[in-house]
Structure 1
Amino acid sequence: MTRGKSTTQLVRIPDEFTKYERARILGSRALQIAMGAPSMLKLTPEQLEAMNYSSLEIAKQELGAGLIPIVVKRPLPPKHSVHGAHTPEQEKQ
């Protein structure tokens, strides 16, 4: 009998956000930008004008470039959970 022995199960984390996670991330980041948070992208005035100064478009560009630091916690069956960090390589696939 061994005490304190823990069993670890490997769980495959999907390589991309779900549409709900993506919507939540983009909405939150767009709100931050609209409230005056600095953009993580270096955009020229011409690029901003082409995007119509849209905070949502800026947030999409940031997410596509992998510049938004985010960790998504996905619930699993009882007593299990998965924490997955998103990387720029995953968004490009």
Structure 2
Amino acid sequence: MESFTRYERARIVGARSLQISMGAPLLVQTDAIDPLEIADEEFRKNVIPITVKRAK
């Protein structure tokens, strides 16, 4: 898994949480209901299809 800063992690999980709350399909099987918990679980399992581009 790529190493993300805490800001990148917050941005990724937050963006994914918003997608889930708007009705996006889940990428993991879970019993969680809260979109933030689901997004965090997806992040920990490394299944969120979001990339981070860093300036060099």
RMSD over equivalenced CA pairs, Å: 1.0
Gaps of 5+ in 1: 1-14, 77-93
Structure 1 residue matching 2:53: 3-state secondary structure? strand
Q: How does the TM-score come out when normalised to structure 1?
A: 0.56
Match of 2:8 in 1: 21
Match of 2:38 in 1: 58
Gaps of 5+ in 2: none
Match of 1:68 in 2: 48
Q: 1 CA distance for matches of 2:48 and 2:37?
A: 14
User: Looking at CA atoms only, which structure, 1 or 2, has the larger radius of gyration?
Assistant: 1
Q: How does the TM-score come out when normalised to structure 2?
A: 0.89
Residue identity (%): 51
Structure 2 residue matching 1:74: 3-state secondary structure? coil
Match of 2:19 in 1: 32
Letter in 1 for 2:46: G
Work out which structure has the larger RCO, using CA pairs closer than 8 Å and 6 or more positions apart in sequence: 2
Runs of 4+ with deviation above 3 angstroms: none
Aligned length: 55
Q: 1 CA distance for matches of 2:24 and 2:50?
A: 16
Letter in 1 for 2:35: S
Structure 2 residue matching 1:31: 3-state secondary structure? helix
